[in-house]
Amino acid sequence: MRIGIACPYTWDVPGGVQVHVRDLAETLIAAGHEVSVITPVDDERTLPSYAVDVGRALPVRYNGSVARLLMGPVSAARVRRWLREHDFDVLHVHEPSAPSVGLLACMLADGPIVATFHTANPRSRFLTAAQGALQPSFEKLRARIAVSEAARRTLVEHLGADAILIPNGVAVAGFVGATPLPGYDDGRPTVVFLGRIDEPRKGLDVLLAAMPALLASVADVRLLVAGPGDAAGPRARLDPRLRDRVDLIGLVSDADKPRVFASGQVYCAPNTGQESFGIVLLEAMAAGTPVVASDLDAFRRVLDDGRAGRLFEVGDPARLAEVLAEVLTDPGGVTDLVRHAHTVAQAYDWRTIAERIVGVYRMVSGDGRVSVASS
Amino acid sequence: MDALVVVVALVVAIATYLTWLALRLDRLAARVADARGGLVTQLVARADAADALATRCALPELADSVRRARAAHPALLAGGPLDGGVELAENLLSRSLRSGEVAAAGQLFPTELHAVDSEAARVALARQFHNDAVRDLRALAGRRLIRLLHLVGRRPSPTYFEIDDALPVRGDLPGLAS
C-alpha cells in the first residue's frame, strides 16, 4: 500500500510519538509498503530517506512535549504538495488533537484517513476549548486508534468518539543479545531500575526502601539506576550502607537501553500508579531479563497475571525485597517465566502491531485515494 | 455605497459558510457509504469463513445460522438496508460461533477456527467504523440551521447497525483479542 504518515512533533527531539512513527514506518517499509512521513525537524540532515520536512515553525508546549504550531501558509502548501505528489491509499495522522502537522494534514486531505491518539490527559483544557473547531477535521477520520486504554478514555471523554486499542510495539529483535554496560559483565547480582528518578510515581523510593532487607539476603547485590532527573535528592536520602551499592548513571540513549537490561539479573518496576501501559516491561521481557513489578492493572495485564513476571503489592518494600531475593538467589527457578515473557513480548513485536494497523488501513481504504480537500 | 459593500460581503460570507456545511454533509455521506460497504463485505466474509468451518466439521446448527445470514446478503450487496431482520440473522450467527460445539470442533481444525475468529473480529471493527460514521453524520445533520434550510435534502438518515459481535474467549494472549 501507499501510506502517508504525519508526525506532529519535531523529528530530532526525543519523544514517544516520534519513536512510534519511526518504528511503524520502518516496519511497514520492511513489509513491502511504500511509506512517506511528513514531520517538522530542526536539522534536516537527521531525516531518513522516507521522511520529508514540513518546515520550521513556532514551538508551543503541548501536554509536556514541544509541538510545532504549524498552521501557516508555508506548511500548508508543503502538506498539499506532499499529498498531491504521493497519491496515498491511506493517510495516517498522529495526535491530530495537537495543533500541528497531524491536524493540518487532516484539514487539508480528503479520503481514507486514520488517526492514532497517544495522549492520556483526563483534563485537557486545549481539547475542551477546541472541540468545536476540531469537529470538522475529526469527522473525516475513518478510524481512530488509541495506543492505551487511558488514551482511549481521554478521547471518549473529550470528543465523545470511541477508538480501537492497538498498543505501542516493541522492536523485540533489537533487545535480544545485547552486551552488558562496562563494569556490569561480572555476573554480580544486579537489580535494574529505568525511569525518571525524581518522579514519585515511578517508585524509586519503594525500591530504595527495599534495599536494606535485600542486602541481608543477597550480600553482594547492587542497584543500577538509569534515568533522567536530579540525582542529588535520592543520593542524599540514601541509607549510608547503600552508598556504594547504588549506581545512578543518568539518562541513557535509546541505543543503550538494551545494554541496561542486559546488565541486570532482574528488572524492577516499582511504580506506584498511573501507568497506562508498561512498554518498558515489554522491552525487559524482550531482552530476557526477569521482571519484578508492582501489581498495577496495566502491569498485571502485560505480565499475563504473573506468569510472565513476578508481581508484588504496590508500594510494599518488604514484599519487594522478598520477591527480588527469590529471583536473584534462584535464577533457574525463573527460566520458564523468562521464556513465557519472551513469547508475550513477541505478541507486541512491531511486526505484529504493524500488521494490525495495516488491517485497519485495508478496512477503511476501499477504492478511494487520499486527495487534497476542495476547501 | 458602503452599505452595499457590507451587504455583498455578508451574502458572500453566508453563502461560503452554507457551501462549506453542504460539503461536510456530502463528505460524511460518502464516509457512511464506504463504511457500510466495508461492513457488508465483512459480514459476507464472516459467513464464508463460518461456512467453511461448518462444512469441514459437519456442524448442522452453525450451517443453519450461516444459511439464514446469507439469505439477506444478496440484497445487502445490492444496497438494501441494514435493518432489524439482518441484525437478527447476524446475531444468530454470532451466537452459534460462540457455542461449545464450535469450540470443540476448533480443537481439531484450528486453522478454520482461527479464520472465523479473525473475520468475526473484523466484523466488530467494521461495525464500529460504520456506527462512528453514522453518529458523525447524524450529529451534523441534526443541527438546527441545517434542518431549517433542508441542507440534507431527501437523503434518508442512516441508522446504526447494532448486533452482538462479542468475540468468544479462546485463551489467547492478554490484550490481543483482535
* pLDDT tens per residue, range B59-112: 889 999 999 999 999 999 998 888 889 999 999 999 999 888 888 888 888 888
Summarize pLDDT for A169-212 with one digit per residue, the tens: 998 988 998 999 999 988 899 999 998 888 888 899 999 999 99
Nearest to A18 by CA among A38, A45, A43, A44: A38
Dist. CA A262–CA A287, nearest whole Å: 7
Q: Are A366 and A143 in contact (CB under 8 A)?
A: no
Distance from CA of A191 to the nearest CA of B (A): 27
DSSP letter (8 states) at residue A40:
-
User: How close B165 gets to chain A, by Cα (Å)?
Assistant: 15
CA nearest B139: which of B14, B24, B34? Answer: B24
The helix/strand/coil state of B170 is coil
| Runs of H (alpha helix) within A218-367 | 232-237, 257-262, 279-287, 297-302, 317-329, 335-347, 350-365
Contacts of A133 (CB under 8 A, 6+ apart): none
| CB-based contacts of A282, cutoff 8 Å, min separation 6 | A170, A302, A344, A345, A348
| Cα A220 to Cα A239: distance, rounded to the nearest angstrom | 16
- Kindly state whether A68 is in contact with chain B, defined as any CB-CB distance less than 8 angstroms: no
> Which CATH architecture is the domain A172-347 placed in?
3-Layer(aba) Sandwich (3.40)
The answer, yes or no, to whether residue B130 has pLDDT greater than 70, is yes
CATH 3.40.50.2000 segments of chain A: 2-169+350-367, 172-347
Q: How far apart, in whole angstroms, are the C-alpha atoms of residue A209 and residue B66?
A: 61
Q: Which chain B residue has the Cα nearest residue A304?
A: B174
pLDDT tens digits for A202-250? Answer: 899 999 999 999 999 998 999 999 988 888 877 787 888 888 889 999 8
Q: For residue B5, count CB atoms less than 10 angstroms from its CB and return exposed for 0-12, middle for 13-18, buried for 19 or more.
A: exposed
- When scoring A142, A279, A355 by the number of chain B Cβ atoms within 10 A, the one with the most, hence best to mutate, is A142
If contacts are CB pairs under 8 Å, which of residues 138-177 in chain A contact chain B?
Answer: 138-140, 142-144, 161-162, 164-165, 167
Q: Does the distance separating the beta carbons of A164 and B178 come in below 8 Å?
A: yes
Beta strands (DSSP E) in chain A are 2-6, 34-39, 51-53, 58-62, 65-69, 90-94, 109-110, 113-117, 141-146, 164-165, 190-194, 222-226, 246-250, 266-269, 291-294, 310-312, 371-372
Distance of alpha carbon A353 from alpha carbon A31, whole angstroms: 12
CB contact under 8 A, A366 and B174: no
What's the pLDDT tens digit per position in A327-336? 999 888 889 9
Query: Which residues of chain A does B31 touch, with a Cβ-Cβ cutoff of 8 Å?
Result: 139-140, 142
Q: Which amino acid is at A241?
A: R
Average pLDDT over residues A148-157: 84
Q: Nearest-CA distance from A343 to chain B in Å? A: 9
At residue A323, the 3 state secondary structure works out as helix
3-state helix, strand, coil split of chain B in percent (to 5) is 75, 0, 25
Residue for cell digits 533487545?
Answer: A175
Q: Provide the sign of the torsion angle of the four alpha carbons A181, A183, A189, A193, taken in this order.
A: negative
Q: Cα A28 to the chain's mean position, in Å?
A: 18
Report the residue of chain A nearest B171, measured CA to CA.
A304
User: For A107, which residue in chain B has the nearest alpha carbon?
Assistant: B24
The pLDDT score that the predictor gives to residue A365 is 86
Min CA distance, B85 vs chain A (Å)?
25
Confidence class for position A72, pLDDT limits 50, 70, 90 = confident
Please write the tens of the pLDDT for every residue from A251-283.
Answer: 888 889 999 999 999 999 999 876 667 788 999
In a mutational test of the B interface, the residue from A138, A364, A367, A370 whose CB has the highest number of chain B CBs within 10 Å is: A364
Beta bridge partners of A114: A92, A143
Q: Which CATH architecture has domain A2-169+350-367?
A: 3-Layer(aba) Sandwich (3.40)
Q: How far is CA A135 from CA A91, A131, A158, in A?
A: 18, 6, 11
By C-alpha distance, the chain B residue nearest A156 is B132
Of A305, A356, A363, which is closest to B38 when you measure between CB atoms? A363
Query: Is residue A34 exposed (0-12), middle (13-18) or buried (19+ Cβ within 10 Å)?
Result: middle
Terminal alpha carbon distance of chain A: 26
Confidence of residue B175 (pLDDT cuts 50, 70, 90): very low
CB A108 within 8 A of CB A373: yes
Q: From the list B122, B136, B175, which residue is nearest A167 (CB)?
A: B175
**Integer Cα distance of A249 and A261 in angstroms:** 13
Tell me if ipTM is over 0.85.
no
Helices and strands of chain A, counted as H and E runs:
13, 17
| Per-position b or e across B113-135, b if 16+ CB within 10 A of its CB | bebbbebbbbbbbbbbbbbbbbb
Does residue A81 contact residue A343 with C-beta atoms inside 8 Å? no
B176: nearest CB among A347, A360, A375: A347
- What is d(CA A193, CA A249) in angstroms, rounded to the nearest whole number? 11
Q: Is the pLDDT of residue A366 over 80?
A: no
Q: What 3-state DSSP class applies to A48?
A: coil
Cross-chain residue pair B35–A142, CB shorter than 8 Å: yes
Pairing verdict, β A371-372 and A58-62: unpaired
pTM greater than the 0.80 cutoff: yes
Mean per-residue pLDDT, A66-75: 68
The CA-based dihedral angle spanning residues B148, B153, B155, B161, taken in that order and rounded to the nearest 10 degrees: -20
Distance from C-alpha of A112 to C-alpha of A244, rounded to nearest angstrom: 58
How does DSSP classify residue A328?
Answer: H
